[in-house]
Amino acid sequence: MPISAEEARAITETMHSKPYKKGTILLKEGQQSSEVYFVLEGCVRQYYLIDGDEKTNNFYTEEQWVVSVNSSAGQRSPGYFLECSEDCVLVVGSRKKEEDLYKRFPNLETVSRKVMEKVFSEQQEMITSYTTDTPEQRYSKLIKSRPDLAQRIPQYQIASYIGVKPESLSRIRKRIANK
């Protein structure tokens, strides 16, 4: 959606870009987030800690929003972590400033809703994939839709993301290579 120069200027004034080192935790399990992020460079991983094991459920890379929906909706604290998997440059905005922008520029609330619709649609596709696809199909889809992740992310995190152990991912990769 197009926005006016005044709206763009107001957005720029309320957000800032900030570098983060690999390994930086942006959000801890149970912590309320007052910030939203937009990835300019790098990769942010979202994961849960279950019985001491990290269960990756998303990777956010360039030109993607990183939003804690639970926190933004005023609901309970999210049960996951957000961690920089690489050195990152993120645009950081605050929920308070976001609300102020909506009051000043109602059109931006519509723009924000469109962004959230896209985020929800992507999440729905991911949930559907976990329900209907085999791990091999999930891996194939991931490599086709986001081929850069295979080079950027440790294999054990990709294995966790598609719902298998690293040894199973090795077998999946071997089967795909032999096809």
Give the model confidence (pLDDT) of 24-76 as tens digits.
999 998 888 778 899 999 999 999 999 999 999 999 999 998 976 654 445 55
Same domain? 9 vs 86: yes
Indicate the pTM of the whole model: 0.85
Q: 79 is written with which tokens?
A: 């049960």
Which of 108, 134, 149 terminates a domain? The answer is 108
CA dist list (Å): 9 to 4, 73, 75, 119, 124? 9, 26, 31, 24, 33
Which of 50, 81, 108 terminates a domain? The answer is 108
Which of 50, 76, 108 terminates a domain? The answer is 108
Q: Is residue 113 part of a domain?
A: no
Q: Is residue 114 part of a domain?
A: no
Which of 71-75, 111-115, 138-142, 163-167 shows the lowest mean pLDDT across its residues? 71-75
What's the mean pLDDT in 163-171?
95
Placement of tokens 């309970």 in the chain: 76
Cβ atoms of 35 and 94 within 8 Å: the answer is yes
Give Cα 143 distance to the centre of its chain: 17
Placement of tokens 């976990």 in the chain: 130
Number of domains comprising the chain:
2
Same domain? 103 vs 130: no
Q: Is residue 53 part of a domain?
A: yes
Q: Is residue 116 part of a domain?
A: no
Considering only CA atoms, which of 145, 146, 138, 142 is closest in space to residue 164?
138
* pLDDT tens, position by position, 81-109: 999 999 999 999 888 888 899 999 988 98
Residue range of the domain that includes 127: 122-179
Which CATH number is 36's domain given?
2.60.120.10
CA 138 to CA 123: how far, in whole Å? 14
